[in-house]
Amino acid sequence: MNRSHDHDMAVSLTQHDRSRRAFVATLRSHVLQRMAGDLRQHFEGTVGPEHEKLGAPLESPEAIHEALKPELPFKAYSSVRTSAQEMVFDVVSDAVDRELETLNERAAQPAKKGSLTLNPALPLPKSVTGIDVHLSPGAYHEERADNDVSAGAVYDNSIDVFAFGQFGKRHNDIGATLSNYLRLKFPEFVPTSILDCGCTIGHNTLPWAETYPDAEVTAIDVAAPVLRYAHARAESMGVPVDFRQMNATAMDFEDEQFDVVFSSMFMHELPLKHIQQYLKEAFRVLKPGGVLWQMELPPMNAMPLYENFYMNWDTYYNNEPYYGTFRKQDYRRLLTDAGFAADDFIEATMPRYTFIGEAAFAESIHSDNTFDTLTGRMDPKGTRWYGFGAWKR
């Protein structure tokens, strides 16, 4: 029997588990590449030109969405993609359910390197509890037993299927890419305290401890089950991280405590008001000379029209209601409203560090930023992650 991962929170996989996972991963890859390509072709070759001929060109993502809705390639794409998304969680849950008791016990072992501080009195935001975020049943927070880690275990296993290898071997490519970008682009900046906000299972937190081994790394999330899992996973990998249950919109930290505030795929799951509160908090807890540096979906104002329609699909069909509103924002403006100076804004699109290695990555970060159809998309042809943030004076 295979193990799902190379750490102690891995689950054993039967042949049946493996073939179901392989099927869904292949289906996801098929829909995101082949069916997405067919859909684009249908738009560019038929629906777009037809509207132009009628003198009513499709000039916004919303107009493209409305025009494609009745079309068969769109219906097929959307229904297969939605079903594949639901299947991701379905096919990984069997193995997690079988071993849940053991996983929960394992996670309760005393810490050796890092720490876990939970706050059972913390009110959970409705944006987490009110919906099954990205169609994941129970999302991040649902507790099924004492000391439950099931949401974390499902999340870790679901990435294997959902990302079909595109997040790197330990699902850590985003953290590795953003931390190594800072290290290589700003070699004189050596942070000693790093905070990851909305860390989930810490897969993109751990690379920060590897990139900056002398730094203290702290990671926060509102959801206890994913934090328990994150802590146990990090302990078994021997990486010291302090995980704390905390709301990023109202942090318990002192002012000016961190050199780096990082987040990854976090803000697009927050209502705009919470994004604004979080960014003010990030500014407050950063030391002068520190940096806010976050991986996110690229903003609508930097991407071509069709990509904006395509990326915003999740807002309508994947239980990601805040996605579209977030992408519409002027990101620099979001940061200046939170206290950062406009001139201190930084952004980059980056190739994947763990895929191309140090030398090619170092070379790439000195070339121009490119926003293209691979930016922010999972694609074996070579995803580029988008990062933005600002230095604090």
Ligand X SMILES: C[S@@+](CC[C@H](N)C(=O)[O-])C[C@H]1O[C@@H](n2cnc3c(N)ncnc32)[C@H](O)[C@@H]1O
Alpha-carbon distance of 215 to 287, in angstroms, equals 14
158-187 positions binding ligand X, by CB under 6 A: 174
Kindly give, in sequence order, each residue whose CB lies less than 8 Å from that of residue 246, ignoring residues fewer than 6 positions away: 119, 122, 220, 221, 222, 252
User: Interacting stretch for ligand X, rule CB under 6 A, among 96-104, 193-201, 318-326, 352-360?
Assistant: 193-201
Q: Which of 125, 118, 331 is nearest to 228 (CA)?
A: 118
User: How far is it, in rounded angstroms, from Cα 16 to Cα 12?
Assistant: 11
CB 271 → ligand X: shortest distance, Å?
10
- Does 200 bind ligand X (CB under 6 A)? Our answer is yes
Out of 180, 247, 315, 375, point to the residue binding ligand X (CB under 6 A).
247
Task: Please report how close the Cβ of residue 49 comes to ligand X at its closest, in angstroms.
Answer: 37
Give the count of residues interacting with ligand X (CB under 6 A). 23
CB of 295 to ligand X, least distance (A): 7
Contacts of 111 (CB under 8 A, 6+ apart): 231, 235
Cα gap 211→214, rounded to integer Å: 9
Give the residue from 263, 255, 249 showing the smallest Cα distance to 286: 255
Q: Which of 248, 279, 311, 335 binds ligand X (CB under 6 A)?
A: 248
Residues paired with 346 in a beta bridge: 389
**In the complex, what is the shortest distance from the CB of residue 368 to ligand X, in angstroms, rounded to a whole number?**
26
Per CB under 6 A, 156 contacts ligand X: no
**Amino acid letter for position 337:** D
Binding mask 255-294 for ligand X (x = CB under 6 A): ---------xxx--xx---x--------------------
Q: How far apart are CA 252 and CA 273, in angstroms?
A: 19
**Min dist. Cβ of residue 205 to ligand X (A):** 8
| Residue whose CB is less far from ligand X, 198 or 298 | 198
Q: Which residue is nearest to ligand X (CB)?
A: 198
The CA-based dihedral angle spanning residues 180, 198, 140, 80, taken in that order and rounded to the nearest 10 degrees: -60
Q: How far is the CB of 133 from ligand X (least distance, A)?
A: 7
Binding region for ligand X (CB under 6 A): 125, 128, 140, 174, 197-200, 204, 220-223, 226, 247-249, 264-266, 269-270, 274
